[in-house]
Amino acid sequence: MQLGAHYLVRGQLDIAKQHIDRALEIDPDSSAAMDRAALLYWRLRDYKLSEDYFRRAIKTDARNFAAYHNYGAFLCDRGRYDEGVLTLEKAANNLLYPYVADANVNAGVCMLRKPSVSLAEKYFREALRLNPGHTGALQQMALISYRRGQMLTARAFIQRYFKSGAHLDTPEILLLAYRVETALRDNNAAASYALRLRSKFPDADEVQQLRVKSPAKRRK
Protein backbone atom coordinates (compact mmCIF):
# COMPACT_ATOMS: atom_id res chain seq x y z
CA MET A 1 0.00 0.00 0.00
CA GLN A 2 2.92 2.33 0.70
CA LEU A 3 4.04 1.82 -2.89
CA GLY A 4 0.60 2.92 -4.07
CA ALA A 5 0.93 6.11 -2.04
CA HIS A 6 4.45 6.65 -3.40
CA TYR A 7 3.38 6.40 -7.04
CA LEU A 8 0.30 8.52 -6.34
CA VAL A 9 2.49 11.35 -5.06
CA ARG A 10 4.75 11.03 -8.10
CA GLY A 11 1.75 11.25 -10.43
CA GLN A 12 2.22 7.74 -11.83
CA LEU A 13 -1.47 7.00 -11.49
CA ASP A 14 -1.57 3.78 -13.52
CA ILE A 15 1.09 2.14 -11.35
CA ALA A 16 -0.48 3.60 -8.20
CA LYS A 17 -3.81 2.03 -9.16
CA GLN A 18 -2.22 -1.40 -9.52
CA HIS A 19 -0.74 -1.25 -6.00
CA ILE A 20 -3.89 0.22 -4.41
CA ASP A 21 -6.11 -2.39 -6.08
CA ARG A 22 -3.76 -5.09 -4.83
CA ALA A 23 -3.86 -3.69 -1.29
CA LEU A 24 -7.67 -3.78 -1.33
CA GLU A 25 -7.62 -7.36 -2.62
CA ILE A 26 -5.38 -8.39 0.28
CA ASP A 27 -7.40 -6.46 2.87
CA PRO A 28 -10.81 -5.27 1.62
CA ASP A 29 -11.46 -3.62 5.01
CA SER A 30 -8.32 -1.47 5.01
CA SER A 31 -9.42 2.09 5.73
CA ALA A 32 -5.99 3.39 4.69
CA ALA A 33 -6.23 1.65 1.31
CA MET A 34 -9.73 3.06 0.79
CA ASP A 35 -8.41 6.54 1.53
CA ARG A 36 -5.65 6.07 -1.06
CA ALA A 37 -8.20 4.80 -3.57
CA ALA A 38 -10.30 7.90 -2.92
CA LEU A 39 -7.30 10.13 -3.58
CA LEU A 40 -6.53 8.20 -6.76
CA TYR A 41 -10.04 8.56 -8.19
CA TRP A 42 -10.09 12.23 -7.19
CA ARG A 43 -6.96 12.68 -9.34
CA LEU A 44 -8.68 10.71 -12.12
CA ARG A 45 -11.73 13.02 -11.79
CA ASP A 46 -14.07 10.15 -10.99
CA TYR A 47 -15.61 12.21 -8.21
CA LYS A 48 -18.47 9.86 -7.38
CA LEU A 49 -16.19 6.87 -6.89
CA SER A 50 -13.72 9.03 -4.98
CA GLU A 51 -16.41 10.16 -2.54
CA ASP A 52 -17.66 6.59 -2.14
CA TYR A 53 -14.18 5.49 -1.09
CA PHE A 54 -13.77 8.43 1.30
CA ARG A 55 -17.07 7.59 2.98
CA ARG A 56 -16.14 3.92 3.23
CA ALA A 57 -12.73 4.76 4.69
CA ILE A 58 -14.29 6.85 7.45
CA LYS A 59 -17.09 4.36 8.13
CA THR A 60 -14.55 1.53 8.41
CA ASP A 61 -12.30 3.46 10.80
CA ALA A 62 -13.74 6.54 12.51
CA ARG A 63 -10.23 7.35 13.80
CA ASN A 64 -8.67 7.59 10.37
CA PHE A 65 -8.07 11.32 10.65
CA ALA A 66 -6.06 11.38 7.43
CA ALA A 67 -9.22 10.27 5.62
CA TYR A 68 -11.22 13.07 7.27
CA HIS A 69 -8.50 15.52 6.24
CA ASN A 70 -8.42 14.33 2.64
CA TYR A 71 -12.20 14.06 2.37
CA GLY A 72 -12.59 17.59 3.71
CA ALA A 73 -10.15 18.90 1.11
CA PHE A 74 -12.08 16.98 -1.56
CA LEU A 75 -15.39 18.55 -0.50
CA CYS A 76 -13.87 22.02 -0.57
CA ASP A 77 -12.45 21.34 -4.02
CA ARG A 78 -15.96 20.38 -5.16
CA GLY A 79 -17.38 23.67 -3.86
CA ARG A 80 -19.08 22.13 -0.81
CA TYR A 81 -17.35 24.51 1.56
CA ASP A 82 -19.40 24.14 4.73
CA GLU A 83 -19.35 20.33 4.52
CA GLY A 84 -15.65 20.46 3.78
CA VAL A 85 -14.78 22.56 6.81
CA LEU A 86 -16.90 20.43 9.14
CA THR A 87 -15.06 17.35 7.86
CA LEU A 88 -11.65 19.01 8.15
CA GLU A 89 -12.47 19.92 11.74
CA LYS A 90 -12.74 16.21 12.56
CA ALA A 91 -9.01 16.04 11.85
CA ALA A 92 -8.13 19.53 13.10
CA ASN A 93 -9.74 18.98 16.50
CA ASN A 94 -7.79 15.82 17.31
CA LEU A 95 -4.38 16.69 18.71
CA LEU A 96 -3.19 13.10 18.24
CA TYR A 97 -3.31 13.66 14.48
CA PRO A 98 0.16 14.84 13.42
CA TYR A 99 -1.13 17.21 10.72
CA VAL A 100 -3.54 19.28 12.81
CA ALA A 101 -1.98 22.57 11.68
CA ASP A 102 -2.26 21.52 8.03
CA ALA A 103 -5.94 20.66 8.51
CA ASN A 104 -6.53 24.13 9.94
CA VAL A 105 -4.77 25.74 6.98
CA ASN A 106 -6.88 23.74 4.54
CA ALA A 107 -10.02 24.79 6.41
CA GLY A 108 -8.88 28.40 6.13
CA VAL A 109 -8.27 28.09 2.39
CA CYS A 110 -11.72 26.53 2.07
CA MET A 111 -13.29 29.52 3.82
CA LEU A 112 -11.38 31.93 1.58
CA ARG A 113 -12.98 30.26 -1.40
CA LYS A 114 -16.48 30.49 0.10
CA PRO A 115 -15.59 33.41 0.74
CA SER A 116 -15.47 34.13 4.47
CA VAL A 117 -12.23 35.92 5.27
CA SER A 118 -12.92 36.29 9.00
CA LEU A 119 -13.45 32.55 9.43
CA ALA A 120 -10.44 31.80 7.24
CA GLU A 121 -8.29 34.02 9.44
CA LYS A 122 -9.46 32.14 12.52
CA TYR A 123 -8.20 28.85 11.08
CA PHE A 124 -4.89 30.34 9.92
CA ARG A 125 -4.25 31.82 13.36
CA GLU A 126 -5.03 28.49 15.00
CA ALA A 127 -2.54 26.82 12.66
CA LEU A 128 0.09 29.37 13.72
CA ARG A 129 -0.72 28.79 17.37
CA LEU A 130 -0.01 25.10 16.84
CA ASN A 131 2.98 25.69 14.57
CA PRO A 132 4.30 29.29 14.56
CA GLY A 133 6.48 28.55 11.55
CA HIS A 134 3.78 27.04 9.32
CA THR A 135 4.62 28.57 5.95
CA GLY A 136 1.17 27.99 4.47
CA ALA A 137 -0.54 29.88 7.28
CA LEU A 138 2.06 32.66 7.23
CA GLN A 139 1.64 33.17 3.50
CA GLN A 140 -2.14 33.27 3.76
CA MET A 141 -2.04 35.76 6.65
CA ALA A 142 0.39 37.93 4.68
CA LEU A 143 -2.00 37.91 1.73
CA ILE A 144 -5.02 38.76 3.89
CA SER A 145 -3.11 41.62 5.50
CA TYR A 146 -1.96 42.92 2.11
CA ARG A 147 -5.51 42.92 0.74
CA ARG A 148 -6.64 44.86 3.80
CA GLY A 149 -3.95 47.44 3.19
CA GLN A 150 -2.11 46.43 6.38
CA MET A 151 1.31 46.49 4.77
CA LEU A 152 3.47 46.47 7.90
CA THR A 153 1.56 43.44 9.19
CA ALA A 154 1.92 41.75 5.81
CA ARG A 155 5.66 42.45 5.87
CA ALA A 156 5.95 40.89 9.34
CA PHE A 157 4.23 37.70 8.20
CA ILE A 158 6.45 37.53 5.11
CA GLN A 159 9.59 37.97 7.23
CA ARG A 160 8.43 35.15 9.51
CA TYR A 161 7.79 33.03 6.43
CA PHE A 162 11.35 33.39 5.15
CA LYS A 163 12.80 32.77 8.62
CA SER A 164 10.98 29.42 8.84
CA GLY A 165 13.54 27.57 6.75
CA ALA A 166 15.65 27.43 3.62
CA HIS A 167 14.44 26.97 0.04
CA LEU A 168 11.09 28.64 0.69
CA ASP A 169 11.05 30.90 -2.37
CA THR A 170 7.99 30.47 -4.59
CA PRO A 171 6.73 32.76 -7.34
CA GLU A 172 3.63 33.58 -5.28
CA ILE A 173 5.39 34.64 -2.07
CA LEU A 174 8.09 36.59 -3.93
CA LEU A 175 5.50 38.55 -5.92
CA LEU A 176 3.55 39.27 -2.75
CA ALA A 177 6.71 40.41 -0.96
CA TYR A 178 7.57 42.65 -3.92
CA ARG A 179 4.11 44.23 -3.84
CA VAL A 180 4.21 44.78 -0.09
CA GLU A 181 7.62 46.47 -0.24
CA THR A 182 6.52 48.55 -3.22
CA ALA A 183 3.48 49.73 -1.26
CA LEU A 184 5.79 50.59 1.66
CA ARG A 185 8.10 52.44 -0.76
CA ASP A 186 11.11 50.35 0.16
CA ASN A 187 12.50 50.29 -3.35
CA ASN A 188 15.65 48.35 -2.43
CA ALA A 189 13.69 45.52 -0.81
CA ALA A 190 11.19 45.47 -3.68
CA ALA A 191 14.01 45.28 -6.22
CA SER A 192 15.64 42.44 -4.29
CA TYR A 193 12.45 40.37 -4.31
CA ALA A 194 11.91 41.15 -8.01
CA LEU A 195 15.45 39.98 -8.81
CA ARG A 196 14.93 36.73 -6.90
CA LEU A 197 11.67 36.12 -8.73
CA ARG A 198 13.17 36.78 -12.17
CA SER A 199 16.33 34.75 -11.54
CA LYS A 200 14.73 31.73 -9.88
CA PHE A 201 11.46 31.55 -11.83
CA PRO A 202 12.04 33.30 -15.19
CA ASP A 203 9.10 31.56 -16.88
CA ALA A 204 6.57 32.09 -14.08
CA ASP A 205 3.45 34.16 -14.76
CA GLU A 206 4.30 36.20 -11.68
CA VAL A 207 7.31 37.71 -13.49
CA GLN A 208 4.95 39.46 -15.90
CA GLN A 209 2.93 40.75 -12.95
CA LEU A 210 5.95 42.62 -11.58
CA ARG A 211 4.98 45.37 -13.98
CA VAL A 212 1.49 45.67 -12.47
CA LYS A 213 1.26 48.45 -9.89
CA SER A 214 0.22 47.52 -6.38
CA PRO A 215 -3.24 48.74 -5.35
CA ALA A 216 -3.46 51.99 -3.44
CA LYS A 217 -2.96 51.52 0.26
CA ARG A 218 -6.28 51.16 2.02
CA ARG A 219 -7.15 52.18 5.52
CA LYS A 220 -6.62 49.58 8.25
Residue ranges and CATH numbers for the domains of the chain are: 1-62 (1.25.40.10), 151-220 (no CATH)
Q: What's the pLDDT tens digit per position in 49-95?
A: 999 999 999 999 999 999 999 999 999 999 999 999 999 999 999 98
Q: What's the pLDDT tens digit per position in 176-202?
A: 999 999 999 999 999 999 999 999 999
Confidence of residue 2 (pLDDT cuts 50, 70, 90): low
pLDDT at position 3, please?
56
- What is the distance between the alpha carbons of residues 215 and 168, in angstroms, rounded to a whole number? 25
Give the CA count within 13 Å in the CB-facing half-sphere of 27. 13
Residue of higher predicted confidence among 116 and 8 = 116
Q: Is the pTM of this model over 0.85?
A: yes
The CA-to-CA distance between both ends of the chain, in Å, stands at 51
